[in-house]
Amino acid sequence: MTLPPPIAVRGLTMAYGSRVIQRDLTFTVRRGEIFIVMGGSGCGKSTLLRHLIGLQAPAAGTILRDGEDFWALSDADRDRIKRNSGILYQTGALWSSMTLAENIALPLHQFTRLKSKEIRELCSFKLALVGLAGCEHFYPSEISGGMRKRAALARALALDPEILFFDEPSAGLDPISSRRLDDLIIELRESLSATIVVVTHELASIFAIGTDAIFLDSESKTIIAQGNPKDLLNQAAPPRVRQFLTRGGSAP
């Protein structure tokens, strides 16, 4: 029996009132891939992420999660699907008054019946998974920006999600920290068999980690290219896509 794809979007239109952001978006995210949502500033990348994770309902169209019509489900069933997703927000969004371990423990206390000792062990394991072993008692203000992103990723992994969503994960990081985070994303995809959706405009990350991608165009307000980012350079991609992928001489 063939499993449905983790995410399938059909005819999606996103809008704020009468202002259409993107229209007629159709794409599929296959299992185990690192799927990139790319495009220039203001094209609707983060808005699309909000639709995929359940924070904003579409103006039209369908979002299927594991074959289920996400926005046609009951609130309880949507919450069930959300708990199978991990989200790394652009700022990390860690609670500043909590230690790293307490940040990771929060969803475990809320959504599982694990004992306190088990939760402590899991928090240590998740931190070790992202290269932060021994940092349980640090507060977010006591560590670097790159470490905060990795700690936020550890929290996103707390409930062992099958799908991870990243919103501009490299934002605010220096090139070395950004590259380390890219390497970690690839390692997690391989070790956990997770499906990963990444919203980004960072070319180095797009080429380093992307296995498939869509390009959201702010002028036509729809997808104008889809495929492996490296392949798009060798294909007859629209001029705006090629310009985006070759800006600053960053193409591989």
Instruction: Encode pLDDT of 44-66 as tens digits.
Output: 999 999 999 999 999 999 999 99
What are the residues facing 167 on neighbouring strands? 199
Question: pLDDT of 87-100, one tens digit each?
Answer: 888 766 788 888 99
Domain around 182: 31-60+75-249
Residue 1 has pLDDT above 70, yes or no: no
Residue 124 has pLDDT above 60, yes or no: yes
Question: What's 45's domain CATH number?
Answer: 3.40.50.300
What would the DSSP string read from start to end of 165-208? EEESTTTT--HHHHHHHHHHHHHHHHHH--EEEEE---HHHHHH
Report yes or no on 167 lying in a domain.
yes
Report yes or no on 24 lying in a domain.
no
How much is the pLDDT for 220? 94
Residue 213 has pLDDT above 90, yes or no: yes
d(CA 219, CA 3): 36
Regarding predicted confidence, which is higher, 187 or 248? 187
Report yes or no on 7 lying in a domain.
no
Judge contact between 194 and 206, C-beta under 8 A.
Answer: no
**Which of these ranges, 31-35, 74-78, 118-122, 141-145, has the smallest mean pLDDT?**
141-145
Question: pLDDT of 140-197, one tens digit each?
Answer: 989 888 888 889 889 988 888 889 999 988 877 778 888 888 888 898 888 888 899 9
Band (pLDDT 50/70/90 cuts) for residue 252 is: low
Which among 43, 11, 72, 36 has a CA at the least distance from the CA of 232?
36
How much is the pLDDT for 236? 65
Residues 227-241: what's their mean pLDDT? 84
Residue tagged 């289920």 (tokens): 68
Report yes or no on 26 lying in a domain.
no
Report yes or no on 207 lying in a domain.
yes
Listed in sequence order, the DSSP H helices in the chain are 45-53, 75-82, 100-111, 116-129, 145-156, 175-192, 203-209, 229-234, 239-246
How much is the pLDDT for 177? 81
pTM assigned to the model:
0.89
Band (pLDDT 50/70/90 cuts) for residue 251 is: low
User: What percentage of the chain reaches a pLDDT higher than 70?
Assistant: 96
Judge contact between 158 and 126, C-beta under 8 A.
Answer: yes
Report yes or no on 12 lying in a domain.
no
| Tokens (6 digits) for 46 | 């983060």
- Residue 237 identity: A
Report yes or no on 16 lying in a domain.
no
How much is the pLDDT for 171? 76
Average pLDDT across the chain, whole number: 89
Cα–Cα–Cα angle for 152, 103, 90, nearest 5°? Answer: 30
User: How many structural domains compose the chain?
Assistant: 1
Report yes or no on 68 lying in a domain.
no
Residue 248 has pLDDT above 60, yes or no: no
Phi, psi of 178 (to 5 degrees): -65, -45
